[in-house]
Structure 1
Amino acid sequence: MTSVAQVLKTKPDNTVYTIDAGDSVFNAIKLMADRQIGAVVVTDGDSIAGIVTERDYARKVVLMDRSSKETPVRDIMSRAVRFVRPEQTTEECMAIMTDRRMRHLPVIDHEHLVGMVSIGDLVKNIIAEQQFTIQMLEQYITGERPM
């Protein structure tokens, strides 16, 4: 089983983007668009205050006819942040994401934010594992030796 730490190592850019709770939703959405990400961790000083996603923006700003430039992130963020630790498995992450209907999980190690895994990261990992298994089975069936 693959761990979250192993998934983080495969990501080309493991930067975790954050935004202050008092900053505008516009700035949060701009950050997400600029970095091509779907969520940012919201901070209040040195602590994690929440998470804001594109879904939060669509449901809590656009559909409620609010101004993204005037609405602070704290007004739309999800406060109950679910997170995982580096030693947890991808299967555990998938279960959390499925049960909670979420697409992003911050990774916390010794009370520090060290990464973020998305549903895309996990699916990519599962596909890679399946391709490896298929290769090994094909080699077994054909009697070829692994390279």
Structure 2
Amino acid sequence: MLKVSEILRVKGDVLYTISPDDSVENAIKTMSEHDIGSVVVIEHGELAGMLTFREIIRHIDSKKEQFAHSTVRSIMDSFPVSVTPNTELAEVQRLMLEQHARYVPVLDGPTLLGIISFYDMARALIDLEQFENNMLKAYIRHWPDDKEDT
């Protein structure tokens, strides 16, 4: 079964992080510049939370005035669902659907290894399906012929 570590290996190791005391305006700018839907909130070298467009939209809706001057800490998800590199794909799918999480941090103890997005999951499933399809086609093409045995 496919594991999170394999998805991270294909995805790469680029992470965009922000401090919980940064402004929401700075977080939005970072997300916009890099065309990403989330940033990892790091404090003292460890995962402190996640900030996604979901939290930003909720914050804008509740505090229409001066939202950009708020801190990331005031709106971030302080307890995001996370997985380990050995978590199987099926478990990640279940967690994402159950928790309505589009982005899931991958932790090895306190060390942040990366982020798995809903897009990454879909891509991995399509790639796995394509690989299995190619393997089956190759197997069928090389099917032993009964005539050769006689």
TM-score, normalised to structure 2's length? 0.87
Deviates more, 1:52-61 or 1:118-127: 52-61
Q: Secondary structure at the match of 1:51?
A: strand
The gaps in structure 2 that reach 5 residues or longer are 145-150
Q: Secondary structure at the match of 1:69?
A: helix
Larger Rg: 2
Amino acid at match of 1:78: D
Contact 1:21 1:43 in 2 (8 A): yes
Contact 1:24 1:68 in 2 (8 A): no
Deviates more, 1:68-77 or 1:123-132: 68-77
Q: CA RMSD in A?
A: 1.8
Alignment identity in percent? 33
Contact 2:47 2:110 in 1 (8 A): no
CA distances 1:12-49 after superposition (whole Å, capped 9, x unpaired): x4222211111111111111111221111112333322
Aligned twin of 1:106: 105
Aligned twin of 2:86: 87
Higher helix fraction: Structure 1 or Structure 2?
2
Q: How does 1:7-86 map to 2 (within 5 A)?
A: 7-11=7-11, 13-62=12-61, 64-86=63-85
Counterpart CA distance in 1 for 2:94 and 2:65 is: 33
Structure 1 residues 66 and 96: CA distance shift in structure 2, 3 A: farther
Deviates more, 1:60-69 or 1:91-100: 60-69
Aligned twin of 1:5: 5
The gaps in structure 1 that reach 5 residues or longer are none
Structure 1 residues 47 and 77: CA distance shift in structure 2, 3 A: same
Structure 1 residues 66 and 84: CA distance shift in structure 2, 3 A: farther
Deviates more, 1:96-105 or 1:40-49: 40-49
